[in-house]
Chain A
Amino acid sequence: IAGITQAPTSQILAAGRRMTLRCTQDMRHNAMYWYRQDLGLGLRLIHYSNTAGTTGKGEVPDGYSVSRANTDDFPLTLASAVPSQTSVYFCASTSEMNTGELFFGEGSRLTVL
């Protein structure tokens, strides 16, 4: 089934540990995004990539890094996790052919203790 695959689905992590959330899409979309969702704060953009090889910072980029080596993959890395990074993370993608519709993955629930 075409779409976005995120892994892991959930993870409990000790503070200070490094963690990479994986995101893969098979729709050949050029643009990809990472959002975090927190109760009462909605969806906040962490980082984005308009095309392979380029990335940009969103609203809440601190403590996170991304890479976009190819069209399909857009991993999000927490270099040294902190409890405030406990959240649900969503990867999304779109292309100019979709008139702006974002396609979201199922999310990765991360708990940092």
Chain B
Amino acid sequence: QQQVKQSPQSLIVQKGGISIINCAYENTAFDYFPWYQQFPGKGPALLIAIRPDVSEKKEGRFTISFNKSAKQFSLHIMDSQPGDSATYFCAARAGGSYIPTFGRGTSLIVHP
């Protein structure tokens, strides 16, 4: 049973467009929701993270929107660039645990 469901599995966007990746979770004990970015041949790296006491967090062109009642959170990439082409993973972690649960990833391709 997937505790964190991520969609879509792949996404193709034109340069300048908005990329949106969605994640849903079941465990109400989750209290930390990070997004990781992975370029080909590299390990994942933290991109942006949010805690459930806020509904939105923005860092540059990247925004996390969080809906606690719906148990959903999403990553929005504004003005998408070819350099954003990567695999994106959402994750969730329960308080007191070191172990995050990952979504299955979204492969994003941004065409020039």
Mark A residues whose CB is within 8 Å of B. 4, 31, 33, 40-45, 48, 50, 58, 90, 92, 94, 96, 99-102, 104-107
Q: Chain B contacts of A4 at CB under 8 A?
A: 43
**Is B32's beta carbon under 8 Å from chain A?**
yes
- A104's partner among B34, B45, B93, B99 (CB-CB below 8 A) is B45
- With A40-B9, A42-B105, A43-B89: A101-B98 Cβ-Cβ less than 8 Å: no
8 example contacts (A-B, Cβ-Cβ < 8 A) are as follows A31-B98, A33-B99, A42-B89, A42-B104, A44-B102, A90-B43, A96-B98, A100-B98
Task: Determine if A40 and B98 form an interchain contact, defined as CB atoms under 8 angstroms apart.
Answer: no
Q: Which of A31, A99, A100 has the most CB of B within 10 A?
A: A100
Given A42-B104, A43-B102, A48-B98, verify A102-B46 contact (CB < 8 Å).
yes
A105 to B42, CA, bound (A): 8
Query: A90 to B32, Cβ gap below 8 A?
Result: no
Give the top 3 A-B pairs by smallest Cβ distance, nearest first.
A104-B43, A42-B104, A31-B98
Give which listed residue, B9, B43, B49, B102, contacts A100 with CB less than 8 A. Answer: B49
Cβ contact of A48, chosen from B36, B44, B89, B99, cutoff 8 A = B99
- 12 further interface pairs, Cβ-Cβ under 8 Å (given A40-B104, A58-B99, A102-B100): A41-B104, A42-B103, A42-B105, A43-B44, A100-B32, A100-B98, A101-B49, A102-B46, A104-B45, A106-B41, A106-B43, A107-B42
Contact with A along B36-58 (1 / 0, CB 8 A): 10000111111001000000000
- Provide the residues of chain B in CB contact with A41, threshold 8 Å: 104
User: In chain B, residues 84-101, which have Cβ atoms closer than 8 Å to a Cβ of chain A?
Assistant: 89, 93, 98-100
Nearest-CB residue, chain B, relative to A104: B43
- When the two chains form their complex, are residues B93 and A100 in contact, meaning their CB atoms are under 8 A apart? yes
